[in-house]
Amino acid sequence: MSEFKCGLIAIVGRPNVGKSTLLNRIVGQKISITSRKAQTTRHRVMGIHTTDEAQFVFVDTPGFQTRHGSAMNRAMNKRVRETLSDTDVVMMLVEAGRLTREDRQVMALLPKDRPLILAVNKIDYAKDRAALMAYLQEVAAAHAFTEIVPVSAKQGSNLDELLKTLQAHLPENPPLFDEDDVTDQTERQLAAELIREKVFRL
């Protein structure tokens, strides 16, 4: 019988690529706020997904800031790097059919000493399969990812395959949280985040 697996998984990517939407979809409820405005995720929000075989502890980071040099953005980039050094697996999210300069800059900052899983999001918008295959070849050549998995965070497509891929790279550990936990945030923190989301949507 295989041992139970548990580990920390960092979700990284440029702003507005769908990290919070993906995390919310995996855990089954809204724990990380979403908005069209960049940098809506300020804190290290942990999402927890537990199965019979593994516990996935996701660390949702702010997007790397590659355009602006403000003190806040530099501090947020530093926090992202610190998060990456504390995790077992790093999962980067990109948008299907669109590999930007910011994506490449994030790739350049990824650690080289741990599994790197690339989740290609928004495949539901990629109607041309040949173009999608060409794009997947392009991102495979852009960085040495351990594995690449196409997904749709909005539709929930192929998330089982993504979790299976992540599980393969998690260390053997007992669970860190109870099986019913989906976040380490208190109800008050979750309420504050939901209020903040409504403000960002104004």
Burial class from Cβ neighbours inside 10 Å (0-12, 13-18, 19+) for residue 137 reads exposed
Question: What residues are paired with 55 via a beta bridge?
Answer: 6, 50
Tell me the per-residue pLDDT of 75-97, one tens digit each, with 9 for 90 and over: 766 777 777 888 899 999 999 98
pLDDT, mean of residues 148-153: 95
Helix axes 101-108, 129-142, angle to 10 degrees: 40
Q: Band of the pLDDT at 53, cuts 50, 70, 90?
A: very high
Q: Average pLDDT, whole number, for the chain?
A: 81
Burial class from Cβ neighbours inside 10 Å (0-12, 13-18, 19+) for residue 107 reads buried
CA–CA separation, 70 and 22 (whole Å): 28
CA–CA separation, 197 and 179 (whole Å): 27
Is 5-200 CATH 1.10.3720.10? no
CA–CA separation, 7 and 167 (whole Å): 9
Least confident piece of the model among 70-84, 93-107, 131-145, 155-169: 70-84
Position with higher pLDDT, 100 vs 63 = 100
pLDDT at 186 > cutoff 50: no
pLDDT at 4 > cutoff 90: yes
Position with higher pLDDT, 49 vs 62 = 49
Q: What is the dihedral of CA 135, 25, 8, 65, to 10 degrees?
A: 60
Nearest to 10 by CA among 102, 110, 95: 110
pLDDT at 67 > cutoff 70: no
- pLDDT cut 90: percent of the chain above it: 40
CA–CA separation, 134 and 154 (whole Å): 23
